[in-house]
């Protein structure tokens, strides 16, 4: 199956050379390469291939905030420290549609892993709060918003294939359901929808768990929905198709990924 999309967001990218190498293998698709370097010690970066160039330089959320957040139920009892989103970008696009220009902000996130580990749970909530503030700025600027990536957490509003339930409030914070006041008297006024809720006829999973990083396959496989695409209301109305690409097998000898892509097609004439 050939997948022909305008923007491909990629997580845990080594560097621009890797993106360029990938792009050289698919030259006929006419992509340009963008990358935002991460700040963690593991050298994880996030990038994308695109036929639509951002209208300004890529931005990143660089602010820090103490964790845990007030009201956290993660069970973290360590010192009150600060964290940031090590791997993220925000890009602004103007799509020239027959109906007129469509202004879209796209945020790419990779949040800390392990949905149930208390410290990472608390950090991930705080990362979501930092992203929430930037999302609000994009909404305030009158832009449609897409936030996507490996959130490493579950959405409490529906069940994935394994009926996973979150401890952290990560998805509710990102979606604007729970508001976090990062600046006095500035409250959130947005709500995002999870594209996965619009997918029918498929099992809801985007990742499988490896046992203790030794590549011992759980039996049966533990399939979870950890990757998400969140969209603002008007963009949700413009979705023509949303689906997972489960077209390659996962096993301990695979060299592809332990995640599967999520694909969304928009019809901007609906805006």
Q: Is residue 20 part of a domain?
A: no
Phi, psi for residue 237 in degrees, rounded to 5: -70, -20
pLDDT digits (tens, 9 = 90+) for 203-248: 999 998 765 455 655 555 688 999 999 999 999 999 999 999 998 8
Q: Is residue 93 part of a domain?
A: yes
Residue 133 half-sphere exposure toward CB, CA atoms < 13 A: 20
- Start-end of H helices in the chain: 16-25, 118-140, 170-174, 233-237
The CATH number assigned to the domain holding 87 equals 3.60.10
Q: Is residue 43 part of a domain?
A: no
Q: Is residue 36 part of a domain?
A: no
Q: Is residue 226 part of a domain?
A: yes
- Give the pLDDT of residue 217: 52
Q: Is residue 28 part of a domain?
A: no
Instruction: Write the CA distances from 181 to 100, 118, 141, 187, 188, integer angstroms.
Output: 35, 23, 19, 6, 8
- Give the pLDDT of residue 208: 84
Q: Is residue 261 part of a domain?
A: yes
Give the chain's radius of gyration (CA, Å). Answer: 18
| C-alpha–C-alpha distance, residues 47 and 184, integer Å | 33
Total count of domains within the chain: 1
pLDDT band at 185 (very low <50, low <70, confident <90, very high): very low
- Give the pLDDT of residue 2: 65
Q: Is residue 176 part of a domain?
A: yes
Tokens 């639509």 locate to 52
pLDDT digits (tens, 9 = 90+) for 36-79: 999 988 889 999 999 999 999 999 999 999 999 999 999 999 99
For 146, the domain range is: 57-270
Counting every residue, how long is the chain?
271
pTM of the model: 0.94
The mean predicted confidence, pLDDT, of the chain is: 90
pLDDT digits (tens, 9 = 90+) for 244-263: 999 887 777 776 788 999 99
pLDDT digits (tens, 9 = 90+) for 123-168: 999 999 999 999 999 999 999 999 999 999 999 999 999 999 999 9
Considering only CA atoms, which of 193, 267, 266 is closest in space to residue 232? Answer: 193
């Amino acid at each position: 199956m050939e997948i022909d999309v305008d923007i491909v967001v990629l997580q845990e990218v080594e560097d621009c050379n890797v993106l360029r190498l990938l792009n050289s293998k698919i030259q006929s698709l006419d992509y340009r390469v963008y990358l935002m370097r991460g700040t963690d010690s593991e050298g994880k970066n996030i990038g994308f291939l695109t036929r639509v160039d951002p209208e300004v330089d890529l931005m990143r959320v660089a602010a820090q905030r103490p964790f845990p957040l007030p009201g956290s139920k993660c069970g973290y009892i360590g010192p009150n420290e600060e964290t940031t989103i090590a791997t993220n970008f925000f890009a602004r696009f103007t799509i020239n549609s027959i109906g007129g220009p469509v202004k879209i902000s796209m945020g790419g996130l990779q949040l800390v892993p392990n949905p149930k580990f208390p410290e990472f749970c608390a950090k991930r909530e705080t990362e979501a709060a930092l992203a929430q503030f930037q999302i609000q700025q994009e909404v305030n600027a009158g832009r449609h918003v897409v936030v996507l990536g490996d959130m490493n957490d579950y959405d409490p509003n529906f069940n994935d294939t394994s009926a996973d339930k979150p401890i952290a409030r990560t998805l509710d914070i990102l979606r604007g359901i729970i508001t976090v006041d990062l600046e006095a008297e500035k409250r959130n006024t947005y709500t995002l929808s999870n594209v996965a809720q619009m997918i029918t006829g498929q099992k809801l999973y985007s990742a499988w768990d490896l046992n203790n990083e030794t590549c011992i396959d759980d039996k049966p496989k533990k399939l979870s929905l950890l990757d998400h695409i969140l969209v603002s209301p008007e963009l949700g109305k413009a979705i023509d198709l949303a689906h997972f690409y489960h077209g390659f097998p996962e096993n301990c000898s695979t060299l592809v990924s332990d995640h599967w892509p999520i694909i969304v097609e928009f019809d901007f004439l609906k805006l």
